[in-house]
Structure 1
Amino acid sequence: MISETDVMQIIVYAGNAKSLAMNAIKEAKKGEIINAKKMLEESKANLKIAHQQHTTILQNFANNPEESATMFLTHAQDHMMAAITATDFTKEFIDLHEEMQELRNLIKKSA
């Protein structure tokens, strides 16, 4: 039986992952690239926990076909997918801000 606590774990860790990813983008925008990368890694760690919990629930469904899905579980999966997307985009934004910072430094040196 899938409990609300099991489902809530997905929401909590996915929410943490998304928040960390968004804060990492803010850090990168300020030029704090090292901090941003650390936050991204922490985001990925939280996302991994959410994904592991999701996998456990899916295995439960596979082993218990009579188990019914709930709107709460659908909501949790939505949170996880949003966190995955945010984390993927965060990597790109950090790379972009890092490159822009390097270009600014080159311009300053040549001026």
Structure 2
Amino acid sequence: MDRQELQSISFQLVANVGEASAHFSSAINHARDGEFDEAESEITSANECIVRAHESQTDLLRAEVSGEEIEFSLLLVHAQDHLMTTITFGRLAEEFVRLYREVHRG
């Protein structure tokens, strides 16, 4: 895999997880305001972005397993870091939505 292709995949990862993170933040804000349908919609949108990010990651894994040399890239490390952080943030966002739902039920 050449450097340009690796950079492209890394940018796809960063873009998708950035979008997911924004959706997760929005979900928390909606839940805080008692807007649970909107919060759930944002969670769904975020998870769709995570799936797209995982697809990019899987492309890299498949290439390496098939014997392609994947050159070390700080950009790829950065992308992977964002993916893992956003997955964790997503779990917390889902928990916040549940908690806010309970608080609003009173």
TM-score (norm 2): 0.91
Match of 1:29 among 8, 32, 43: 32
1:12 aligns with 15
1:63 Cα offset (Å): 1.8
Separation (CA, whole Å) in 2 of partners of 1:85 and 1:18: 10
Q: Report the identity percentage.
A: 27
Which amino acid in the other structure matches residue 8 of structure 2? T
In structure 2, the gaps of 5 or more residues are: none
Separation (CA, whole Å) in 1 of partners of 2:52 and 2:86: 12
Match of 1:84 among 79, 84, 87: 87
1:69 Cα offset (Å): 2.2
Paired residues of 1:17 and 1:83 also in contact (CA < 8 A): yes
Displaced runs of 4 or more, over 4 A? none
In structure 1, the gaps of 5 or more residues are: 104-111
Q: 1:5-60: CA deviations, max 9, x gaps?
A: 11111000011001110111011011111100100000000000001110111111
Separation (CA, whole Å) in 1 of partners of 2:53 and 2:69: 24
1:101 aligns with 104
TM-score (norm 1): 0.87
Q: Which structure: larger Rg?
A: 1
